[in-house]
Structure 1
Amino acid sequence: MSFQEKIPMNCRQTTLVLSIAMGAFSISATAAQAVNPTITPALSAAAAVSPATVVANYAALVHATYSDTLSATKAMQAAIAAFVKTPSVETLATARIRWLAAREFYGQTEAFRFYGGPIDGDNGPEGRMNAWPMDEAYVDSVEGKPNSGLINNPKFKITKANLAESNERDGEENISTGWHAIEFLLWGQDRSETGPGDRSFTDYVDGKAPNADRRRLYLSVSTALLVDDLSAITAQWTPGSKNYRAKFEKGGKESVRKIIVGLGALSRGELAGERMEVALNSQDQEDEHSCFSDSTHRDIVNNAKGIENVWLGQYKRANGTLLKGPGLADLVALSQPKVAAQTSAQLAASVAAAEAIPAPFDRAVVGGKDAPGRLKIQATIDSLVEQSKLLVTSASAVGITRLNLAQP
């Protein structure tokens, strides 16, 4: 059974590397423990490796990752508030930096998707948080369409409820909310072959651009909606509450199955497929994930890193501490140590391959079959496909054979 064949995908719902964002991700638990006392065990060191302890540690990692994402997104919100209050080159640059920093964390959370959890269950907010690709003209004016978009429609009242209701109305590319709507409002259309979009701060200055006041309001409200959605998801993983986490931690092997489904679906269907193969085949800028900021290469790295985090049962927090506990690798190693080691090596290879993709991604996909950027993207795809197969083998090693799970 392969994830590609058995897991339905609904994947379309869905530069600058800054020290402020994350720091180094490559630290190993063993080396860190030897030189760095800031390792926080998610569970007691004496906890035996079992489905229950792996699930409990996973829940701790999920909550920690969403908490860091929420904090970084609130920092972005503060920077955006400063920008709309006093639009300038400097305040716009800071808002962009904060968007990029928050995305470093959010990209790792996508390993927690694809099994009907709080992010993409029946009433999950994923579609209004990270949907793409986006028809920019649905939100604001674009080249050749100076009056397009909800911002330039005075009859449209800009509220959280109206933005949420308008998201994907009459077409899945009619994106009105989330990361990429905010990204477009900060960077504007990307018309450059060598860099990101270059929207002027004057688009937000009264008298310098039509509907600047509505543009300021739209950016503020869409950011507040994203913070609300992240807050709600984080609350569902908060310990000691009557929430999704409480039920998930009681799920035993079924919860382990869901964890593996999430990793496999992201590995093959979403990351290797929708986010890389589609763009590699079309060579079209519109098929890259974060096209306005030219940070798609970082999306890919952080998605791959998120998968590795879950597999190893560890996550490096924003404050530099390493959260560590029993992971899938430990569980698989109880019965199939060679499979566990092989899978760990393959996941590390995928992260390394993703990190080798040159920026900007929209230039890396262009060219002939042997173009250097395309070869690096293809190498990452190949590694992700191989790791999805190893995840199936790993599931079998712990007695899980039914991996298909219909998407909500």
Structure 2
Amino acid sequence: MKNAVNKPYFSRITPFPRAKLPLAMAVCGLLLAGAGCERKQVETEVEQSAPAATVPAVNVAAAEAFSSEYWQAGQAQVIDAAAAAQALARAVAQLLESPTEDSLETAKLAWLDAHREMAASMPFIKVAFSPADLQQSGNELLLALDSWPAQAGYLDTVPGYSSSGIVNDTAIELTLANLRKQHRLTAHEEASTGFHALEIMLWGPTSERSAEQFVAASGGEQPEALAANRRRELTRLIAQGIDEDLAQLSARWPVTANDLSQRYLAQAPVARVQRIRSAHLDMLRNEVLPRLPESSESDVESGHAADSKQALLAMLRNLQACWLPEGGGGLADLLLDRHQTAALAKTFGELEERLLKMEDPIELAAPAELQRSRQQVDALIGLISGDTQVPARDEEMTPVSLQAPEE
């Protein structure tokens, strides 16, 4: 899995790596068009398709090699995400120590970096927490880190409500433990931890945050209760929570930790690759599709930072690198037939091309383009699951002449 993570990809949009497969192959029956291919019938000659390609039983040695390498690639990615979260916490600390427009911009860039590293980790995190008894803790971790959308008024002052949010609610003592208790307390939009809560604090409820709003205030008997100082502390604590959560995940990952890896490696190699497939399908359905708005009324992941598309690309690039690494040897070779593999490469390529042309932020893209992207993700789901059968190409058909028997 040498292409699992190609760095750097944060300063610009980078396409997910292309597999060395014939992407231009005309594949009939692909879900993208939603229709099958029709063949011309000739009176004296009919076409007999070659036998449908069958997927052989998964090679145990290949499954062992792939699944072990996949876990190591996940460890490298999670370490990168933890390092980016640590850098984000440092950038926020520097902003609070010296609130300038430059330090605010540095903190925003650190957020973008860490958010995309988190998104790139998703294909691995989904696998690590896929065992039934780990799913709840995995969901709790993802909700703590990446719950969206986040309601600005739950955290800070918003236009028309000068005393809204935790910033102004002095009844809530500002500790990380309390923020975790307040997180999604009565509604899923009430995010008080994670990337999107911090996004609101750095960009501001109306995306017009200035460094001046992070300047410490003085005066009164309890200066720590002033909104400006609570805003500073709330921002610091949210960044601290992200740092802690990803550091703990990174510590749980290595084989030597005998934690998450124990459950993964205890499975037979073939069971591991099937679990990876199931986790990737779950990610496409529950992480990728929701990030492609169905309408103007749909929730948007990173509405203030305008990072939804970049995070989506980071997620998809590691998914494709798992299934179609350059040089072969990916999950497609283990689990799909060659026609499905070619169709998968073609679909990834077309989805990549469409996403890169879209408006950024993604919610500004044309509705038709968003709908087409959703259809292509559905096509990926059908191909990766193996449910979509791809007919052979016309040139692979064997013509057979039918002659009337001699009388």
Matched, 1:131 2:147: yes
CA displacement 1:223-281 (0-9 Å, x = unmatched): 11111111121222213331111331231222222211121122234322x222xx332
Matched, 1:74 2:86: yes
Aligned in 2, Cα 1:19/1:66: closer, same or farther, shift over 3 Å?
Answer: closer
Distance in 2, Cα, partners of 1:52 & 1:22: 35
Distance in 2, Cα, partners of 1:377 & 1:230: 31
Aligned in 2, Cα 1:19/1:128: closer, same or farther, shift over 3 Å?
Answer: closer
Matched, 1:267 2:281: no
| Aligned equivalent of 2:105, options 82, 93, 103 | 93
Query: Greater relative contact order: 1 or 2 (C-alpha under 8 angstroms, separation 6 or more)?
Result: 2
Counterpart in the other structure of 1:387: 380
Shift of 1:356: 2.1
Distance in 1, Cα, partners of 2:86 & 2:71: 22
Amino acid in structure 2 at the alignment position of 1:391: I
Distance in 1, Cα, partners of 2:389 & 2:266: 21
Aligned in 2, Cα 1:148/1:128: closer, same or farther, shift over 3 Å?
Answer: same
Aligned in 2, Cα 1:235/1:173: closer, same or farther, shift over 3 Å?
Answer: same
Shift of 1:395: 10
Matched, 1:51 2:63: yes
Counterpart in the other structure of 1:341: 342
Counterpart in the other structure of 1:358: 359
Shift of 1:160: 1.4
CA displacement 1:17-38 (0-9 Å, x = unmatched): x96557845555879xxxxxxx
Shift of 1:140: 1.2
Matched, 1:122 2:115: no
State how 1:268-307 maps to structure 2 within 5 Å.
Answer: 268-272=285-289, 274-276=290-292, 279-281=293-295, 283-284=296-297, 287-307=299-319
Aligned in 2, Cα 1:60/1:380: closer, same or farther, shift over 3 Å?
Answer: same
Other structure's SS at 2:294 match: helix
Shift of 1:128: 0.9
Matched, 1:255 2:269: no
Counterpart in the other structure of 2:254: 238
Aligned in 2, Cα 1:58/1:271: closer, same or farther, shift over 3 Å?
Answer: same
Aligned alpha-carbon RMSD (Å): 3.0
Other structure's SS at 1:156 match: coil
Give the total of aligned pairs. Answer: 335
Matched, 1:177 2:187: no
Assess if the C-alpha contact under 8 Å between 1:160 and 1:222 holds in 2.
yes
Shift of 1:85: 0.6
Q: Which shifted more, 297-306 or 124-133?
A: 297-306
Assess if the C-alpha contact under 8 Å between 1:53 and 1:326 holds in 2.
no
Counterpart in the other structure of 2:35: none
Distance in 2, Cα, partners of 1:245 & 1:104: 24
TM-score normalised to structure 1 length: 0.74
Distance in 1, Cα, partners of 2:94 & 2:126: 36
Counterpart in the other structure of 2:211: 201
Counterpart in the other structure of 2:170: 154
Counterpart in the other structure of 1:311: 323
Amino acid in structure 1 at the alignment position of 2:194: G
Amino acid in structure 2 at the alignment position of 1:140: D
Distance in 2, Cα, partners of 1:172 & 1:340: 38
Assess if the C-alpha contact under 8 Å between 1:92 and 1:201 holds in 2.
yes
Other structure's SS at 2:255 match: coil
Assess if the C-alpha contact under 8 Å between 1:115 and 1:121 holds in 2.
no
Distance in 1, Cα, partners of 2:328 & 2:84: 24
Counterpart in the other structure of 2:38: none
Distance in 2, Cα, partners of 1:29 & 1:63: 23
CA displacement 1:283-311 (0-9 Å, x = unmatched): 03x71100111121212222222321322
| Aligned equivalent of 1:60, options 72, 88, 109 | 72
Aligned in 2, Cα 1:118/1:141: closer, same or farther, shift over 3 Å?
Answer: farther
Amino acid in structure 2 at the alignment position of 1:255: R
Assess if the C-alpha contact under 8 Å between 1:22 and 1:101 holds in 2.
no
Aligned in 2, Cα 1:234/1:23: closer, same or farther, shift over 3 Å?
Answer: farther
Matched, 1:107 2:100: no
Assess if the C-alpha contact under 8 Å between 2:16 and 2:352 holds in 1.
no
Amino acid in structure 2 at the alignment position of 1:184: I
Distance in 2, Cα, partners of 1:181 & 1:206: 21
Aligned in 2, Cα 1:395/1:231: closer, same or farther, shift over 3 Å?
Answer: farther
Matched, 1:329 2:337: no
Identity %: 21
Other structure's SS at 2:136 match: coil
Distance in 1, Cα, partners of 2:248 & 2:301: 24
Shift of 1:341: 2.7
Assess if the C-alpha contact under 8 Å between 2:19 and 2:345 holds in 1.
no
Larger radius of gyration: 2
Distance in 1, Cα, partners of 2:110 & 2:216: 24
Distance in 2, Cα, partners of 1:387 & 1:257: 16
